[in-house]
Amino acid sequence: MKFAVVVFPGSNCDRDMYHAVKDVLQAEAELVWYEGSNLEQYDGILIPGGFSYGDYLRSGAVAATSNVMKQIKEHAAKGKPVLGVCNGFQILTEAGLLPGALMRNEKLSFMCHQEELIVENEHTPFTASFNRGEVVRFPIAHGEGNYFCDEETLKDLKANNQIVFTYQNNPNGSVENIAGIINKQGNVLGMMPHPERAVEKLLGSDDGLRLFQSIVQNWRDTYATNA
């Protein structure tokens, strides 16, 4: 399996994502500059955190209009995995690949610390190595991680089992403690906490490694089935 880590101007977690996949997971991965990129050769797309375009207008709003997003939408439409973390989650919502929006943290301050998350849906390509109800530890690092959606959207998220992670102790005011959601097709995950910063025990947790292992295993299972 070959991953593309899409780099926008202002991305600053791209090397973390690359290290997690290339060095720790030992999968194929390349840093791909958003401009003039060709994503056809990649099996999985990773959109890292940071401050794409300086967070002008709204976080992720400018990146969501870039030409590479057309390729990412085509990639997602084919059922291939797309993971957006932190600013990547913001980009996915701004691009319409995921519902809802990310607003300023409830206390209007930047937060950077470990958080405990509850696995709400283990039946996804990203969480097959977890158990439902399991508590895992991922760090957060965001100022605009307060997930919001209207009541109708929330009803749909619950009905379709699209809420993948929730916070044990909601740090930012997100509706229903939501930390990560998936699209209806089940192959696009957006989350504010950073699994790529939780792949080695030296960092305080290696729970995030299982998320990337789940992606690879799902791809192998799918490939073997279709072969």
Residues with active-site annotation: 86, 194, 196
Cα separation, 123 vs 15, whole angstroms: 28
Residue 109 exposed, middle or buried by CB count within 10 Å (0-12, 13-18, 19+): exposed
97 contacts 77 by C-beta, under 8 angstroms: no
Q: Per-residue DSSP letters for 18-41?
A: HIIIIIIS--EEEEEESTT---TT
Cα separation, 95 vs 77, whole angstroms: 14
- Which 8-state DSSP code applies to residue 202? G
- In terms of DSSP bridges, do strands 44-47 and 2-7 run parallel, antiparallel, or are they unpaired? parallel
* H-state helical runs in the chain: 14-18, 68-77, 87-94, 151-159, 207-226
Nearest CA to 47 out of 1, 101, 90 is that of 90
Cα separation, 45 vs 29, whole angstroms: 10
